[in-house]
Amino acid sequence: MNTELSVNGGLTILAVSGTIDMATAPVLQTAVREAVSSTSAGLIIDLSDVEFLASAGMTILVEARQRIGDSAAFAVVADGPATSRPLSLTGLDKALGLYATVAQAVAALGPEA
C-alpha cells in the first residue's frame, strides 16, 4: 500500500493505492493522522487505486471523519466494487461523504470548504 499527500484548492488530498487490510492499516492510520493534522480547509481521502478495502480500513476512515468533526470538510473518493461497494453495504457512504472522482469531491467541498 502507498499513500501520497497533495493540495488542491486548499483541500488536502490523501491518495491511497494498493490493499488496505490488517497488515497495511497501521501505515494508512499514520498517513491519515498526518493528513488530518495538516489540513485546515478539508480532507479528501482518495481510494481510486485501492484494490481491496477491509474493515480495518473502513474503521480508519470513520476515525478520520470523527477527528475532523465540524472543523473542516471531509470526503472519500471511491468508485468501484473493491471500495464503494463495502462502504455502501455498511452505510458508511452516507456518513463519510462518498464521491466517484476527486474532481467531484473538490467541487462539492468547494473553495470555501
Q: Where are the domains of the chain?
A: 2-107
Using one digit for the tens of pLDDT, what is the confidence trace for 30-40? 999 999 998 87
- Candidate CATH numbers 3.40.50.150, 3.30.2130.10, 3.40.109.10, 3.30.750.24; the one for domain 2-107: 3.30.750.24
According to DSSP, the β-strands at 73-77 and 98-99 are: parallel
Q: What pLDDT is attached to residue 113?
A: 45
| Average per-residue pLDDT for the chain | 93
Sequence-ordered strand ranges (E) for the chain: 2-8, 11-20, 42-53, 73-77, 98-99
Q: What pLDDT is attached to residue 91?
A: 93
Q: What pLDDT is attached to residue 89?
A: 94
Using one digit for the tens of pLDDT, what is the confidence trace for 70-105? 889 999 999 989 999 999 999 999 999 999 999 999
Answer for the pair 53, 37: CB distance below 8 angstroms, yes or no: no
DSSP 109: H
Residue 50 β-bridge partners = 18
